[in-house]
Structure 1
Amino acid sequence: MAQLSCITKTGALITSVFEDLAQLRIAVFNAFPYLYEGSIDYEKEYLKVYSESENAFLFAVYDGNKMVGATTCIPLTDETPEVQEPFINAGIELESVFYFGESILLPEYRGLGLGHRFFEERETHARSFGTCKITSFCSVVREENHPLKPSDYQPLDKFWIKRGYQKEPLLKSNFEWLDIGESQPTQKEMIYWTKQLS
């Protein structure tokens, strides 16, 4: 393992690493619980929301010239309607929320403290605006007996709780993507986690 290096990008500058980020997202989200059958073209379209937001933020980790980990965040006001909807329905002001996108790391780089670093970087960015009261992200809901669930699978709930996040059963969305082995995209229930920023 070479010396790891870190970069940050904001707004339109995130476009410069779209290819790297798209490939990393496909590699990591292919595993349970997301089981995502991705494509570079779909990824680049999805990631446009970040490049179009002046205050979106990316923190990425490289091993040599290979992106091995990355995390993003964006003001909820700049997110898509499907992400905003549960907050609107709950009467939460969109301006008070920073939404955390992916937090992804190749398996061989886990256990080095980078997961904590990802949250610290995003929370620091969110605080810098002085208007953010809540940070939030969502995770996919899969049935306990899913046939593709590994026997040694450990959900990240304990890690998120340790970081000060709590699951919000009333905040839910449905996202659509193509699962491994499927021929048509299907709706997946997503549940949100939130943290009150001090």
Structure 2
Amino acid sequence: MSIGFLTLTPGSAEFGDAVEQVAALRIKVFREWPYLYDGTEEWERRYISKLAEAEGAVVIAARDGEKIVGVSTGMPLLSEHDELITPFRGSDFQPEQVFYGAETVMLPEYRGQGLYRGFLERRRQHAIVLGGFRWETFCGVVRPTDHPLRDPAIPPLDPVWSHLGYRKVEGLTTDFSWRDIDQTEETAKPMQFWIRDL
């Protein structure tokens, strides 16, 4: 198996195709624990429209032959949704100096081969080359330990994130709403921010 990485920005030849595949990968991967996301292509297209419009955005794509098997996306925090920007106002991290890593998702059969680190390091390098950023951040959903759909086969990623240089910032949180796979209505989910220096 030979995996190649592509770093794509708005205006590059393959950016549009990669963004289209972000939606499909998000729906598939985020259906798993801990997100349990019951996504639709229509909502996904609205969600990722900011990616194509944001100056400084990036899609890191992992490709096996012609097939994109994973993606990592990011953009300057100030180009993101208010739910992500607002928690940083008045914090120790000035929003204009923060680069936001939106998601890193890959098909299950490609996990455990070092692609995750490759995604994050390329995304970090993109933010450094852009200039003007002091920090990189992302947020992850917080689920109760006794959640009935918890999958014990999927370990928490906290130790991985810590090993890669991120730190959990207590009190720096937001909420996102989506419909879980076992629910009929959307509910708000707490999201915890993690940050590392650039």
> TM-score normalised to the size of structure 1?
0.94
CA distance in 2, matches of 1:91, 1:150: 35
Deviation digits for residues 60-79 of structure 1 (CA, Å, limit 9, x no counterpart): 11223332111011001111
Q: Give CA deviations for 1:82-111 in whole Å, capped at 9, x if unaligned.
A: 100110131532111000010111111011
Would the aligned equivalents of 2:36 and 2:181 in 1 still touch at CA under 8 Å? yes
User: What are the Cα deviations for residues 34-71 of structure 1, in whole angstroms up to 9, with x where unaligned?
Assistant: 00001111111100111111210001112233321110
Which residue of 2 is the match for residue 100 of structure 1? 101
Q: Structure 2: which 5+ runs fail to align? A: none
Report what 2:115 is aligned to. Answer: 114
In the superposition, relative to structure 1, how do residues 183 and 132 fare at CA in structure 2: closer, same or farther (>3 Å)? same
Alpha-carbon distance in structure 2 between the residues aligned to 1:12 and 1:31:
32
What is the aligned partner in structure 2 of residue 84 from structure 1? Answer: 85
In 1, Cα distance between equivalents of 2:10 and 2:90: 28
Q: Could you say which residue in structure 2 is the equivalent of 1:17? A: 18
Moved more, 11-20 or 150-159: 11-20
Q: Which amino acid aligns with 2:139?
A: C
SS in 2 for 1:89: coil
Mapped to 2, the partners of 1:27 and 1:44 lie a distance apart of 14
Percentage of identical aligned residues: 39
Q: Please, what is the CA RMSD of the aligned residues? A: 1.4
Mapped contact 1:137–1:192 kept (Cα < 8 A): yes
CA contact (8 A) 1:56 1:75 kept: yes
1: CA distance between counterparts of 2:173 and 2:33? 20
Which residues of 2 match residues 158-177 of structure 1 at below 5 A?
158-177=159-178
5 Å-filtered alignment, 1:1-198, equals: 1=1, 3-13=2-12, 14-90=15-91, 92-197=93-198
Q: Which runs of 5+ in 1 are unaligned?
A: none
Number of matched residues?
196
